[in-house]
Amino acid sequence: MRIAVTVGAVVLLAACSPGGGHESQPTSQPRMSMPAGAPHTTITKPTPTTTSPLPTTAPAPGTPMSRVTKWVEAGTPADPSGFHTATRDGQSTDLGEDIAFVAPSGAARCTTNKYADGQLACLIKADGLPTKPADVEGQWIPGWVDFAGETVDIGSLHGDPGPFATGDGAELPEGKSLAFGDYRCRADASTLVCVNYAHQSAVLVSSSGVEPLGCLKPVPPPVGVGRQLSCAPD
């Protein structure tokens, strides 16, 4: 009997020992904790930005230059290759690197002049154009506009048609913009707006005349010029 009790005790102890056949299973997963001082990730929602819609009509005088430029650039780009020819009395002339175009309203005929550093000149029909000064002699053309970038001369003396001798370029369609040299022009049904990037200046041409945009402002004109706009400081 003593031997049987001893054997039973040994069997019971073996069953309860760590190597006794069945390993205990954990009842729960250990919790993970961030080490002290660890950075926390914060998800920030982007702040929506709002922009002012572009005007549906040409910019008025006093419009900031950035808005003027955006309006002109918003026009559908026209292919410059279609504006290197001028036509007069049915005869076409290849202008080479020069550009010529006509506004849809017919109130402005424009061309560049490679002999004047690619400067833009336009012949316009409008109200309120300057009359011939009393102290000058020669052929006065009130609607001749020279837009050099830093200055705009409106009305001047000319003994010949100059860059307009070869005639008119193609029509710049309404809503399209044409880029050439330092300039980009956009036409609509009644106005033409031309920007000069080099000087951050622009002109608005309409039936009312020529209005300054950007840095341009009225200044006393030189002899032989009816009206001048300039970016020069006072």
163-175 residue pLDDT tens: 999 999 999 999 9
Q: CA 222 to CA 227: how far, in whole Å?
A: 8
pTM assigned to the model: 0.76
Of 45 and 19, the one with more pLDDT = 45
- Domain map (residue ranges) of the chain: 65-229
| pLDDT classification of 182: cutoffs 50, 70, 90 | very high
- The percent of residues above 90 in pLDDT, for the chain, comes to 70
CA distances from residue 228 to 39, 109, 159, 217 in whole angstroms, order as listed: 64, 19, 20, 8
Query: Residue 149: what are its φ and ψ, rounded to 5°?
Result: 110, -65
pLDDT value at residue 32: 45
Q: CA 211 to CA 218: how far, in whole Å?
A: 10
Instruction: Give the pLDDT confidence of 92-129 residue by residue, as tens digits.
Output: 999 999 999 999 988 899 999 999 999 999 999 999 99
CA distances from residue 195 to 180, 184, 187 in whole angstroms, order as listed: 10, 5, 12
Signed CA dihedral, 29, 34, 35, 36: sign only: negative
pLDDT value at residue 135: 85
